[in-house]
């Protein structure tokens, strides 16, 4: 499967440009896990995925993906396929939309 070899890439780091608005010198990577996972999902490269998986583990990433409040269709389908998730497990698919046009897939 994609990213199965992430443990071989322990020297990778998440690009600071993904988190441009945060001071990474004082960044709590665990507290901000959902933000990091969402940014990597939206804009990440292979090295960002490897770094994210080494930082949070496979289950930690899956748990964060479940909590993300919004994903576009492409990211949603990618996350479900790669991380073996069902749309019904994801907050972005189960939250009641604030606007009637949002949330329809």
Residue with more model confidence, 76 or 1? 76
Q: With respect to residue 1, please indicate whether it lies within any of the assigned structural domains.
A: no
Query: For residue 9, which of 59, 51, 57 has the smallest C-alpha distance?
Result: 51
Q: pLDDT at position 92, please?
A: 92
Q: With respect to residue 99, please indicate whether it lies within any of the assigned structural domains.
A: no
DSSP string over 16-36: GGGGTTS-GGG--TTTTHHHH
Q: With respect to residue 34, please indicate whether it lies within any of the assigned structural domains.
A: yes
Q: With respect to residue 20, please indicate whether it lies within any of the assigned structural domains.
A: no
Q: Are 86 and 61 in contact (CB under 8 A)?
A: no
Q: What is the pLDDT of residues 62-104, one digit of tens each?
A: 999 999 999 999 999 999 999 999 999 999 998 766 666 555 5
Asked whether residue 57 carries a pLDDT value surpassing 60, the answer given is: yes
Q: With respect to residue 60, please indicate whether it lies within any of the assigned structural domains.
A: yes
Q: With respect to residue 86, please indicate whether it lies within any of the assigned structural domains.
A: yes
Q: Which domain holds residue 81?
A: 6-15+28-91
pTM of the complete model = 0.87
Half-sphere exposure of 34 (CA within 13 A, CB side): 13
Q: How confident is the model at residue 105 (pLDDT cuts 50, 70, 90)?
A: low
Domain count, the chain: 1
Q: Are 1 and 80 in contact (CB under 8 A)?
A: no
Dihedral angle computed from the Cα positions of residues 79, 82, 87 and 89, in that order, rounded to the nearest 10 degrees: -90
């Amino acid at each position: 499967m994609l990213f199965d070899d992430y443990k071989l890439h322990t020297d990778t780091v998440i690009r600071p440009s993904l988190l441009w608005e945060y001071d990474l010198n004082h960044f709590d990577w665990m507290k901000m896990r959902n933000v990091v996972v969402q940014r990597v999902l939206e804009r990440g490269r292979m090295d960002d995925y490897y770094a994210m998986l080494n930082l949070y583990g496979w289950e930690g990433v899956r748990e964060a993906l479940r909590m993300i409040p919004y994903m576009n269709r492409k990211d949603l389908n990618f996350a479900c396929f790669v991380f073996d998730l069902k749309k019904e497990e994801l907050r972005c698919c189960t939250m009641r939309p604030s606007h009637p046009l949002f949330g329809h897939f």
